[in-house]
Protein backbone atom coordinates (compact mmCIF):
# COMPACT_ATOMS: atom_id res chain seq x y z
CA UNK A 1 0.00 0.00 0.00
CA UNK A 2 1.24 3.48 -0.89
CA UNK A 3 1.66 5.73 2.17
CA UNK A 4 -0.37 8.93 1.87
CA UNK A 5 0.37 12.05 3.90
CA UNK A 6 -0.81 15.55 3.02
CA UNK A 7 1.91 18.07 2.20
CA UNK A 8 1.76 21.43 4.05
CA UNK A 9 -0.28 24.12 2.32
CA UNK A 10 2.86 26.17 1.63
CA UNK A 11 4.63 23.23 -0.03
CA UNK A 12 6.28 24.00 -3.37
CA UNK A 13 4.78 20.85 -4.96
CA UNK A 14 1.32 22.46 -4.82
CA UNK A 15 2.59 25.28 -7.06
CA UNK A 16 4.51 23.09 -9.50
CA UNK A 17 3.01 21.52 -12.62
CA UNK A 18 2.90 17.74 -12.32
CA UNK A 19 4.56 15.31 -14.72
CA UNK A 20 2.62 12.98 -16.98
CA UNK A 21 2.01 9.52 -15.54
CA UNK A 22 3.94 7.05 -17.71
CA UNK A 23 1.99 3.82 -18.14
CA UNK A 24 4.89 2.18 -20.01
CA UNK A 25 7.18 2.67 -17.02
CA UNK A 26 4.83 3.49 -14.13
CA UNK A 27 6.33 5.22 -11.07
CA UNK A 28 3.59 3.52 -8.98
CA UNK A 29 1.14 0.73 -9.67
CA UNK A 30 -1.75 2.79 -11.13
CA UNK A 31 -4.52 0.68 -9.56
CA UNK A 32 -2.85 0.82 -6.16
CA UNK A 33 -2.27 4.57 -6.51
CA UNK A 34 -5.91 5.22 -7.46
CA UNK A 35 -7.11 3.14 -4.52
CA UNK A 36 -4.75 4.83 -2.04
CA UNK A 37 -5.78 8.31 -3.24
CA UNK A 38 -9.46 7.35 -3.04
CA UNK A 39 -9.11 5.91 0.47
CA UNK A 40 -7.21 9.01 1.66
CA UNK A 41 -9.85 11.31 0.14
CA UNK A 42 -12.73 9.37 1.73
CA UNK A 43 -10.98 9.24 5.13
CA UNK A 44 -10.64 13.04 4.98
CA UNK A 45 -14.27 13.43 3.86
CA UNK A 46 -13.13 15.07 0.62
CA UNK A 47 -14.73 15.20 -2.81
CA UNK A 48 -11.50 15.06 -4.80
CA UNK A 49 -7.77 14.60 -4.30
CA UNK A 50 -4.84 15.25 -6.61
CA UNK A 51 -1.65 13.19 -6.23
CA UNK A 52 0.52 16.26 -5.62
CA UNK A 53 -1.50 17.05 -2.49
CA UNK A 54 0.12 13.97 -0.94
CA UNK A 55 3.56 14.59 -2.43
CA UNK A 56 3.25 12.52 -5.62
CA UNK A 57 4.21 14.75 -8.59
CA UNK A 58 2.19 13.00 -11.32
CA UNK A 59 -0.93 14.01 -13.25
CA UNK A 60 -3.53 11.91 -11.51
CA UNK A 61 -6.52 12.72 -9.35
CA UNK A 62 -9.53 10.96 -7.91
CA UNK A 63 -12.99 12.26 -7.28
CA UNK A 64 -15.96 10.97 -5.40
CA UNK A 65 -18.56 9.44 -7.68
CA UNK A 66 -19.71 6.61 -5.41
CA UNK A 67 -17.93 3.90 -3.44
CA UNK A 68 -15.48 2.88 -6.16
CA UNK A 69 -12.37 4.91 -6.96
CA UNK A 70 -12.77 7.14 -10.00
CA UNK A 71 -9.32 8.17 -11.16
CA UNK A 72 -8.14 10.34 -14.02
CA UNK A 73 -4.56 9.95 -15.20
CA UNK A 74 -3.07 12.56 -17.57
CA UNK A 75 -6.36 14.45 -18.03
CA UNK A 76 -6.78 17.05 -20.75
CA UNK A 77 -9.68 19.46 -21.04
CA UNK A 78 -11.42 18.98 -24.38
CA UNK A 79 -14.22 21.53 -23.96
CA UNK A 80 -15.68 23.86 -21.31
CA UNK A 81 -18.97 25.61 -20.91
CA UNK A 82 -19.06 29.38 -21.33
CA UNK A 83 -21.53 29.53 -18.45
CA UNK A 84 -19.68 30.08 -15.17
CA UNK A 85 -20.99 29.70 -11.65
CA UNK A 86 -19.53 31.16 -8.47
CA UNK A 87 -19.65 28.86 -5.45
CA UNK A 88 -17.83 28.33 -2.15
CA UNK A 89 -15.00 25.82 -2.38
CA UNK A 90 -12.80 24.16 0.18
CA UNK A 91 -9.66 22.11 -0.29
CA UNK A 92 -8.06 19.27 1.66
CA UNK A 93 -4.74 21.12 1.37
CA UNK A 94 -6.20 24.23 3.05
CA UNK A 95 -8.32 23.00 5.99
CA UNK A 96 -11.15 25.30 7.11
CA UNK A 97 -10.56 27.79 4.26
CA UNK A 98 -13.64 28.39 2.10
CA UNK A 99 -13.59 30.79 -0.85
CA UNK A 100 -15.96 31.81 -3.64
CA UNK A 101 -14.56 30.56 -6.92
CA UNK A 102 -16.04 31.05 -10.39
CA UNK A 103 -15.80 27.96 -12.63
CA UNK A 104 -17.42 26.69 -15.82
CA UNK A 105 -20.64 24.75 -15.21
CA UNK A 106 -19.63 21.90 -17.54
CA UNK A 107 -16.41 20.37 -18.84
CA UNK A 108 -15.37 17.51 -21.13
CA UNK A 109 -12.16 15.77 -20.14
CA UNK A 110 -10.09 13.16 -21.96
CA UNK A 111 -8.08 11.00 -19.57
CA UNK A 112 -6.67 7.56 -18.96
CA UNK A 113 -8.13 5.31 -16.29
CA UNK A 114 -6.01 3.16 -13.96
CA UNK A 115 -5.76 0.51 -16.70
CA UNK A 116 -4.27 3.03 -19.15
CA UNK A 117 -7.42 3.10 -21.31
CA UNK A 118 -8.37 6.49 -22.77
CA UNK A 119 -11.86 7.84 -22.06
CA UNK A 120 -13.65 11.12 -22.61
CA UNK A 121 -16.39 12.16 -20.21
CA UNK A 122 -18.56 15.22 -19.66
CA UNK A 123 -19.08 16.52 -16.15
CA UNK A 124 -21.78 18.98 -15.16
CA UNK A 125 -22.41 21.03 -12.04
CA UNK A 126 -20.66 19.87 -8.89
CA UNK A 127 -18.68 17.08 -10.59
CA UNK A 128 -17.41 19.61 -13.16
CA UNK A 129 -16.33 21.90 -10.29
CA UNK A 130 -14.52 19.06 -8.51
CA UNK A 131 -12.78 17.90 -11.70
CA UNK A 132 -11.67 21.46 -12.55
CA UNK A 133 -10.44 22.08 -8.99
CA UNK A 134 -8.32 18.90 -9.12
CA UNK A 135 -7.19 19.63 -12.68
CA UNK A 136 -5.89 23.01 -11.47
CA UNK A 137 -3.85 21.23 -8.78
CA UNK A 138 -2.01 19.29 -11.46
CA UNK A 139 -1.12 22.55 -13.22
CA UNK A 140 0.36 23.89 -10.00
CA UNK A 141 -2.59 26.19 -9.35
CA UNK A 142 -4.59 26.40 -6.13
CA UNK A 143 -8.04 27.84 -5.57
CA UNK A 144 -6.72 30.72 -3.47
CA UNK A 145 -5.34 32.13 -6.75
CA UNK A 146 -8.85 32.20 -8.25
CA UNK A 147 -10.50 34.13 -5.42
CA UNK A 148 -10.12 37.87 -4.79
CA UNK A 149 -7.24 38.87 -2.56
CA UNK A 150 -9.66 40.65 -0.22
CA UNK A 151 -11.84 37.57 0.19
CA UNK A 152 -8.82 35.30 0.68
CA UNK A 153 -7.41 37.55 3.43
CA UNK A 154 -10.82 37.71 5.14
CA UNK A 155 -11.20 33.91 4.94
CA UNK A 156 -7.67 33.40 6.33
CA UNK A 157 -8.51 35.60 9.34
CA UNK A 158 -11.76 33.70 9.86
CA UNK A 159 -9.87 30.39 9.67
CA UNK A 160 -7.38 31.59 12.29
CA UNK A 161 -10.26 32.31 14.66
CA UNK A 162 -11.81 28.87 13.94
CA UNK A 163 -8.48 27.13 14.59
CA UNK A 164 -8.16 28.91 17.97
CA UNK A 165 -11.65 27.76 18.94
CA UNK A 166 -10.86 24.17 17.94
CA UNK A 167 -7.67 24.17 20.08
CA UNK A 168 -9.57 25.28 23.25
Other beta carbons within 10 Å of 44: 14
- In the set 3, 89, 134, 151, the catalytic residue is 134
Give the whole-angstrom CA distance, residue 63 versus residue 138.
Answer: 14
For the entire predicted model, the pTM comes to 0.93
Q: Residues 69-88: what's their mean pLDDT?
A: 96
In this prediction, residue 17 carries a pLDDT of: 97
Strand 60-63 relative to strand 48-50, pairing: antiparallel
In a domain, 85, yes or no: yes
Give the whole-angstrom CA distance, residue 36 versus residue 164.
Answer: 31
In a domain, 7, yes or no: no
In a domain, 4, yes or no: no
Contacts of 110 (CB under 8 A, 6+ apart): 75, 76, 78, 118, 119, 120
In a domain, 100, yes or no: yes
Q: Residues 4-12: what's their mean pLDDT?
A: 95
pLDDT band at 168 (very low <50, low <70, confident <90, very high): low
In a domain, 5, yes or no: no
Summarize pLDDT for 55-73 with one digit per residue, the tens. 999 999 999 987 777 999 9
Domain count, the chain: 1
In a domain, 129, yes or no: yes
Q: What is the CATH number of the domain that holds 85?
A: 3.90.45.10
Summarize pLDDT for 33-53 with one digit per residue, the tens. 999 999 999 999 999 999 999
In a domain, 2, yes or no: no
Write the DSSP symbol of residue 88. Answer: E
Other beta carbons within 10 Å of 98: 16
Summarize pLDDT for 84-108 with one digit per residue, the tens. 999 999 999 999 999 999 999 999 9
| Of 106, 100, 51, 49, the residue nearest 77 (C-alpha) | 106
Write the CA distances from 34 to 24, 29, 71, 72, integer angstroms. Answer: 17, 9, 6, 9
Q: Which domain holds residue 101?
A: 12-167
In a domain, 101, yes or no: yes
- Residue 12 is among the residues annotated as catalytic for this protein: no
In this prediction, residue 69 carries a pLDDT of: 78
Summarize pLDDT for 107-151 with one digit per residue, the tens. 999 999 999 999 999 999 999 999 999 999 999 999 999 998 999
Amino acid sequence: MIEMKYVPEDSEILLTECKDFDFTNPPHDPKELAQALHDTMVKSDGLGLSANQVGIPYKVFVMRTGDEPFAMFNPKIVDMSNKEISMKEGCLSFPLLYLNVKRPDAVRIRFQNEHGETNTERFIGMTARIALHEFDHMLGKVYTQKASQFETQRALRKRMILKRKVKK
